[in-house]
Chain A
Amino acid sequence: MAVKVLIPTPLRQFTGKQPSIECNAATVGEALGSLTSSFSELRKHLFTDEGKIRSFVNVYLNDEDIRFLEKENTRTKDGDTISIVPSIAGGSIC
């Protein structure tokens, strides 16, 4: 299934500044796997060492939170949009 993954601003530095990535995947988990194999730096920002999606990152299939669907096993269909929505706090710098 051809799906589009939207990359939020804080993570675009790991995707060569691309705001979205197209890939083929049957599930949300496959799409994220394909994304992190193309952009390995992304992995630690999305997944814990045990391979679970981090709790300060939410993943949406279209406008639904996959935690309330079938998580990474949620099936995709052609034209779906996957959004990665990390928590942001403000613009302060160090």
Chain B
Amino acid sequence: MAIRTDALQQQKDVKLSKEEIQRYSRHLIMPEVGLEGQLKLKRARVLMIGTGGLGAPLGLYLAAAGVGHLGLVDFDVVDSSNLQRQVTFTTQDVGKPKSEAAKARLSALNPSIEIEAYETRLTSDNALELFRDYDIIVDGTDNFPTRFLVNDACILLGKPNVYGSIFRFEGQATVFGYPDGPCYRCLYPEPPPPGLVPSCAEGGVLGVLPGIVGSIQAMETIKLILGAGDPLVGRLLLFDALAMRFRELKLKKNPDCPMCGKNRTITKLIDYEEFCGIRGEEAPVMTDGIAEITARELKARQDRGEKIFILDVREPHEYQICNLNGKLIPLGELPRRVNELDSSVEMVVHCRSGKRSADAIHFLQTAGFKKLLNLKGGVLAWADEVDPSMPKY
């Protein structure tokens, strides 16, 4: 059942050096891998989409296992907030392109494998070209447009897609695009509209979680290469870290799937940002009809002695990190606590980056409030423009 491609067939003369035999000896002494399996790993070509939280254990284990050709696609640079979970990177890597930093780390781990770093955003224009040279694609991204793009490109090219996804304490993993198996669109025909994607108040992820889910992806990738065991095809593995419970649900191929069904209607890559209702890199902030104030202007008015009422619509645990001494009413509690506010006084509303406060202002406007200002860029802008000692998160 191993994934065999032309590229794989062409490299039948691949051998292991004495050093490699020593390095991979714990694989070689298992009959399920053996010399044959290790050569399959060496011939294999795996493309990782994303080198972040999921990509960290994936890259480390695939490189350590001796997967001979690894492609790393990532346009991002290492940020200090990545280090809590993206264990390929060190503090010294902050500011470097992720694909390059990951390549350096994985090359140091295993100098005998080939690693190609693609410092680019995966798009409908480059996906097919990038995927063509690889046997297996591993999806370790963090957004819906790229997930649909990876799925569709894999189906068009007939390549397996080792899928993993995380949210806070919960993970999902499966293998899509296997011959006769389901695809991502069989599971979820459409993405959630931006308004129903969990909001920033519910974001975040426990650092170990991508380590576990990415390791499952690494295991499935290696099993596909070896043709060993039962691949995670037609099964959706759910992991709840808080309950420490794994569950498995059946995943069926949808006969009416527009991508992989009998009467497919999607025959080429589309505009996935548009498909997901997103334009630009981030969900748009609805600022129509909202007056704004910059952090500098707010500070100047406070310095002139004006007493300005500040409403903070973040969560209590965010308020503990840093705050502007404002009144805290989390966005979700605003409807039932609106009577705590005085509509006759001017109010500056803020959150972390300005999005939730814009939503709060829209709500307050419908509740009859008029003297409302949105702090542009939220506490992040305050830290940048007014108080550099304030921590950013």
Contact = CB atoms under 8 A, between A and B. Distances in A.
Contacts of B355: 94
B291 interface: no
B238 A85 contact: yes
Interface in A1-28: 8-10, 13, 19
Contacts of A89: 141-144, 147, 165, 167, 197
Interface stretch (A29-37, A55-63, A70-78): A55-63
Contacts, number: 100
Interface string B319-336: 000000000000010000
Given A8-B170, A45-B196, A65-B251, A91 B190 contact: no
Nearest to B145: A89
Nearest to B188: A87
A91 B188 contact: no
B143 A90 contact: yes
Contacts of B191: 56, 87
B172 interface: yes
Given A9-B170, A68-B252, A83-B249, A93 B204 contact: yes
Contact of A91 (B203, B249, B283, B352): B203
Q: How large is the interface on B (under 10, 10 to 19, 20 to 34, 35 or more residues)?
A: 35 or more
A75 B301 CA distance: 63
Q: How large is the interface on A (under 10, 10 to 19, 20 to 34, 35 or more residues)?
A: 20 to 34
A87 B202 contact: no
Contacts of A55: 188-190
A56 B165 CA distance: 14
B249 A60 contact: yes
Contact of B332 (A13, A85, A91): A13
B243 interface: yes
B187 interface: yes
A92 B142 contact: yes
A93 B200 contact: yes
Nearest to A64: B250
B196 A44 contact: yes
12 contacts: A10-B202, A56-B188, A63-B249, A68-B252, A85-B172, A85-B236, A87-B165, A87-B192, A88-B166, A89-B147, A89-B165, A94-B203
The 7 tightest CB contacts between A and B, nearest first, are A90-B142, A91-B205, A93-B203, A88-B167, A94-B200, A55-B190, A56-B192
Given A10-B202, A93-B200, A93-B204, 18 more contacts: A8-B170, A9-B169, A13-B332, A55-B189, A56-B196, A58-B188, A63-B249, A63-B250, A65-B251, A83-B238, A83-B249, A87-B144, A87-B187, A90-B53, A90-B165, A90-B166, A91-B166, A93-B203
Interface of A: 8-10, 13, 19, 44-45, 54-56, 58, 60, 63-65, 67-68, 83, 85-94
